[in-house]
Every structure is written in structure tokens, then in C-alpha cells.
Amino acid sequence: MNRDIRLLDKTFTPYLSADSILSRVDEIASQLRQDYRNEKVLFVGVLNGAFMFASDLMKSINFDLEISFVKVASYEGTASTGVVKDLIGLNNSLEGKHVVIIEDIVDTGRTADRIFEYLKEKNPMSIEMCTLLYKSDAFEGIEEPKYVGFKIPNKFVVGYGLDYDEAGRNLNEIYQLKE
Ligand code: IMP
């Protein structure tokens, strides 16, 4: 059965099912539980893309934690503009805390580097990145993500928070652009 979908002017084909995403999210959650239990940890979700991943991940981690969200934008359409705009929304103190950034996807890594730079200035005990998807072949950044859901090829994807010009964020599975 053809389960392709149409978003705006493009066709996308199913890539990662809802079940496979959720079971990987559970695995990452148990890794984070092991690494951060008994620590003061602040999770920083990057909006808009990471809202669904952050929500499922936080529900799977059953220890005391803080969560906050920041907003940053670097993408228009299906090609990176390479321009990272402002980072807004973080009012929490980071002193004495371990910070884990939650991203939907690391592509070139520019956004991640910018967020690291910004958060380092606030003197946390440590910073790591947790991303659901990692396009490792496209990566040209400095800070590699420590926690990775899926390494994926350098192809455009949507769903589970990720958008194509704001379409597709609400899909509960991930689709790949059909060339
Ligand atoms: P980077 O700065 O190149 O690593 O890009 C990071 C941001 O670009 C992500 O947070 C996404 O918002 C967006 N992005 C990168 N690849 C994709 C994709 O395949 N689909 C949707 N958004 C993407």
C-alpha cells in the first residue's frame, strides 16, 4: 500500500514509524536516567522542531528535572540558509546545573554550535546535546551530539515536530522527501 503523503508542493514517503521512534526515545531516556540520576539537570528544548521529541522524552524520564525551551531559526524551505538568528526564551540560572540540549535534528551543526556558545556563557557544570536525528554526513560543526536517536542520510525529512515550510510538524511519524 502506498502511504506517501503530499505537503505543499512535495511528496514524502514514510521513513521512521511512530513505534520505532517511541522505542528509541525510551532507550535514550534510560541512558539519560543512568547518566544524570542524582544530578541537577536542566533540559533545554529547541523550538519549534523539538517540541514532540522533548515531550515524549521528558515523559519517559522519571526523576526530578527542570525543562525550558529556547527558540532559534536557521532554515527556510528545504535548504539551510546557514543564518542562525536570535536565541530567546531562557530565564533559568544555569549555575551548578548540568544542561542537556534537546534538538529535533542536527544537520550542519551550526545551530547546535550557536546554542552551545550561548549556554556556555551562563556557566553550567556541563553541556551535552541530545538529538533525535543526526545527519552526520552534513555535519561541519564543532560540538557533536552525545545522545543520538537515529543517524540519517543527508535527505530532507518531516514529521514528529520537523516541518517543511511549517507543514507536517504534527505527523506522528517521520517522512523522507521523495526525489
Ligand atoms: P543546522 O544548523 O544545519 O544543524 O540545522 C538545524 C535546523 O535546521 C534544525 O533544528 C531544523 O529546524 C532544520 N533542519 C535541518 N534538516 C532538516 C530536515 O531534514 N527537515 C526539517 N528541518 C530540518
Q: What is the CATH number of the domain that holds 87?
A: 3.40.50.2020
Residues 6+ apart with CB under 8 A from 56: 21, 22, 25
Q: Could you read off the pLDDT of 82-115 as tens digits, one per residue?
A: 555 567 888 889 999 999 999 999 999 988 998 9
| Nearest CA, atom 5, ligand 1 | 107
Whether 139 shows a pLDDT value over 60: the answer reads yes
Residue predicted with more confidence, 77 or 18: 18
User: Under a CB-based contact definition with an 8 Å cutoff, are residues 175 and 159 in contact?
Assistant: yes
* Ligand 1 lined by 106 (C-beta under 6 Å): yes
Q: Could you read off the pLDDT of 154-167 as tens digits, one per residue?
A: 999 999 999 999 99
CA of 39 to the centre of ligand 1 (A): 30
> Residue 44 and residue 24: Cα distance in Å, rounded?
19
Q: What is the number of domains present in the chain?
A: 1
The stretch 58-86 carries a mean pLDDT of: 74
CA of 96 to the centre of ligand 1 (A): 30
> Residue 160 and residue 26: Cα distance in Å, rounded?
15
Which of 19, 26, 104, 107 is flagged as catalytic? Answer: 107
Q: Is residue 91 part of a domain?
A: yes
The stretch 29-47 carries a mean pLDDT of: 95
Q: Is residue 4 part of a domain?
A: no
* Ligand 1 lined by 55 (C-beta under 6 Å): no
Whether 3 shows a pLDDT value over 70: the answer reads yes
Of 92, 35, 24, the residue nearest 60 (C-alpha): 24
Res 89: pLDDT = 87
* Ligand 1 lined by 162 (C-beta under 6 Å): yes
Whether 77 shows a pLDDT value over 80: the answer reads no
18 φ/ψ sector (left φ>0, alpha ψ -120 to 50, else beta): alpha
Would you state the torsion angle of the CA atoms of residues 179, 108, 26, 164, taken in this order, to the nearest 10 degrees? -40
Res 72: pLDDT = 83
Residue 41: which pLDDT band, with cuts at 50, 70 and 90? Answer: very high
Res 80: pLDDT = 56
107 is catalytic: yes
Q: Is residue 8 part of a domain?
A: no
What pTM was computed for the model? 0.93
User: Under a CB-based contact definition with an 8 Å cutoff, are residues 130 and 101 in contact?
Assistant: yes
**Which residue segment(s) compose the domain that 32 sits in?**
18-150
Q: Is residue 13 part of a domain?
A: no
Grid cell at residue 82: 546557514
Q: Is residue 11 part of a domain?
A: no
Q: Is residue 31 part of a domain?
A: yes
To the nearest 10 degrees (0 to 180), the angle between helices 18-36 and 51-60 is 60
Return mean pLDDT, the chain.
Answer: 92
> Residue 179 and residue 152: Cα distance in Å, rounded?
16
Res 46: pLDDT = 96
Res 70: pLDDT = 93
Of 46, 176, 64, the residue nearest 111 (C-alpha): 46
Pick the atom of ligand 1 nearest to 141's CA: 4
CA of 49 to the centre of ligand 1 (A): 8
CA of 75 to the centre of ligand 1 (A): 6
Q: Is residue 9 part of a domain?
A: no
